[in-house]
């Protein structure tokens, strides 16, 4: 098998057939005049480092360039991100005189979340004020910069362990947005020992209960897993279901497993039926996890 990943004019080529890889590179060179850079070391701003246990993905260079760009307004480093109890609103403080600076900073910080799940929650919160950023929003964004200054080299390890079991955690913070009272969802996915996906996002509609907020997040996670399973099947991984999902809301687990509850939850009926369908098909295995063991809390609280 040979896999070709293309983003505009950036190409990654990999597989288990060296002769086919060489043939494909030769064909592309004769057609498009490509430049063979050898083993992958840098791709779309992400450094790829080989390690005894697998591959390390890091954006250290990108982080240092970002810190240098804003060095005039970023001073000392800090060891903690934004306080989770800090809830900014669209009307806090005075409008910034230059809106483009804030927007450019948040755009680059958002790109940095490709390898930094630790800042994902803070960036999704700050991204909500791009239309009219204010001084307090900029101050919070610079606090994230100061955190990065203290930890510029955190990375993601793609472990070469032969274990390919999928495991996911999901959580939601009901009505946590003080302005809109919308909930914030978060989930993480593991393939074996490797963290492969994470998401922190404010829900698009207001949930009428904590169960509804959890279930909307659960439906989004199951949809992502359905897509991921199709992709992994193309890679030859066909025996990795059912996928274990850990949820710290016991009522959500009961609703997914017992259709009798669905008639009491008409406002989220479609979400209920979608998750239950995937549960009955054997795609997922839903189970309860105590809140203190809920890894997705980092992305939702």
> Over the stretch 31-46, which tens digit does the pLDDT of each residue have?
888 888 888 888 888 9
Same domain, 146 and 168: no
Q: Tokens 């970023």 sit at which residue?
A: 74
User: Does the residue 155 lie in any domain?
Assistant: no
Provide DSSP, 182-200.
--EEEEEEEETTEEEEEEE
- State the average pLDDT over residues 268-282: 73
Provide DSSP, 31-68.
HH------S--EETTEEEEEETTEEEEE-HHHHHHHHH
d(CA 40, CA 11): 10
Give the pLDDT score at 134.
87
Instruction: Check pLDDT > 60 for residue 263.
Output: no
Give the residue with greater pLDDT, 226 vs 209. Answer: 226
User: Does the residue 53 lie in any domain?
Assistant: no
> Over the stretch 158-207, which tens digit does the pLDDT of each residue have?
888 888 888 898 888 876 777 778 788 888 999 888 898 888 888 777 77
Give the pLDDT score at 238.
77
Buried b (16+ CB within 10 A) or exposed e, 79-92: eebbeeeeebeeee
Instruction: Check pLDDT > 70 for residue 266.
Output: no
Instruction: Check pLDDT > 60 for residue 125.
Output: yes
Kindly state the tokens that stand for 112.
Answer: 């940095």
Assign 265 a pLDDT band (cuts: 50, 70, 90): low
Assign 267 a pLDDT band (cuts: 50, 70, 90): low
User: Does the residue 4 lie in any domain?
Assistant: yes
**Where is the domain boundary, 150, 177, 203?**
150
Instruction: Check pLDDT > 60 for residue 239.
Output: yes
User: Does the residue 197 lie in any domain?
Assistant: yes
The number of distinct structural domains making up the chain is 3
- CB 161 within 8 Å of CB 193: yes
**Where is the domain boundary, 110, 128, 150?**
150
Same domain, 275 and 176: yes
Q: Is the pTM of this model over 0.85?
A: no
User: Does the residue 295 lie in any domain?
Assistant: no
Q: How far is CA 299 from CA 118, 123, 199, 283, in A?
A: 8, 10, 7, 24
Give the pLDDT score at 301.
63
Same domain, 271 and 215: yes
Give the pLDDT score at 111.
92
Same domain, 175 and 218: yes
Quick one: CA dihedral 133, 116, 298, 276, positive or negative? positive
Q: Can you say how many angstroms the Cα of residue 260 is from the centroid of all Cα atoms in its chain?
A: 33
- State the average pLDDT over residues 61-73: 82
Instruction: Check pLDDT > 80 for residue 52.
Output: yes
Kindly state the tokens that stand for 35.
Answer: 């430049």
Same domain, 134 and 197: no
- State the average pLDDT over residues 14-32: 89
- CB 126 within 8 Å of CB 137: yes
CATH number of the CATH domain containing 269: 3.30.420.10
Give the count of beta carbons closer than 10 Å to the beta carbon of residue 67. Answer: 16
**Where is the domain boundary, 126, 150, 174?**
150
Assign 252 a pLDDT band (cuts: 50, 70, 90): confident
Same domain, 69 and 20: no
- State the average pLDDT over residues 80-109: 83
- CB 48 within 8 Å of CB 56: yes
User: Does the residue 263 lie in any domain?
Assistant: yes
When mean pLDDT is compared across 56-65, 66-75, 151-160, 182-191, the lowest value belongs to 66-75
- Domain containing 191 equals 164-289
Same domain, 102 and 211: no
Give the pLDDT score at 103.
92
Instruction: Check pLDDT > 80 for residue 72.
Output: no
d(CA 77, CA 262): 50
Give the pLDDT score at 270.
64
- State the average pLDDT over residues 280-295: 79
Same domain, 34 and 70: no
Give the pLDDT score at 20.
92
Same domain, 134 and 243: no
> Over the stretch 128-160, which tens digit does the pLDDT of each residue have?
888 888 888 888 888 888 888 888 888 888 888
- CB 210 within 8 Å of CB 174: yes
User: Does the residue 294 lie in any domain?
Assistant: no
Give the pLDDT score at 209.
74
Q: How far is CA 279 from CA 80, 106, 241, 251, 297, in A?
A: 39, 38, 11, 16, 23
Same domain, 146 and 106: yes
User: Does the residue 157 lie in any domain?
Assistant: no
Same domain, 98 and 25: no
Same domain, 84 and 119: yes
């Amino acid at each position: 098998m040979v896999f070709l990943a293309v983003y505009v004019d950036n190409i990654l080529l990999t597989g288990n057939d060296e002769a086919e890889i060489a043939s494909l590179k030769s064909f592309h060179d004769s057609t498009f005049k490509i430049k063979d850079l050898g083993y992958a070391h840098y791709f779309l701003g992400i450094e790829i480092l080989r390690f005894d246990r697998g591959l390390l993905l890091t954006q250290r260079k990108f982080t240092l360039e970002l810190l240098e760009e804003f060095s005039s307004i970023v001073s000392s480093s800090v060891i903690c991100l934004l306080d989770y109890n800090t809830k900014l609103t669209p009307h806090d403080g005075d409008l910034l005189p230059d809106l483009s600076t804030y927007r450019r900073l948040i755009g680059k910080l958002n790109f940095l979340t490709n390898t930094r799940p630790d800042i994902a929650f803070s960036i999704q919160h700050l991204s909500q004020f791009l239309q009219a950023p204010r001084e307090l929003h900029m101050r919070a964004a610079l606090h994230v910069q100061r955190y990065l200054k203290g930890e510029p080299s955190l990375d993601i390890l793609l472990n070469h362990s032969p274990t390919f079991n999928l495991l996911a955690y999901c959580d939601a913070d009901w009505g946590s947005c003080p302005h809109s009272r919308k909930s914030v969802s978060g989930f993480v996915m593991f393939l074996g020992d490797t963290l492969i996906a994470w998401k922190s996002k404010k829900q698009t509609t207001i949930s009428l209960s904590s169960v509804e907020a959890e279930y909307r997040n659960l439906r989004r996670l199951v949809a992502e897993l359905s897509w991921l399973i199709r992709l992994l099947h193309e890679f030859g991984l066909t025996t990795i279901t059912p996928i274990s999902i850990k949820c710290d809301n016991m009522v959500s687990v009961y609703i997914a497993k017992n259709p009798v509850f669905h008639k009491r939850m008409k406002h989220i009926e479609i979400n209920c039926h979608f998750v239950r369908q995937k549960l009955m098909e054997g795609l997922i295995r839903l189970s309860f996890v105590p809140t203190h063991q809920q890894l997705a809390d980092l992305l939702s609280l």
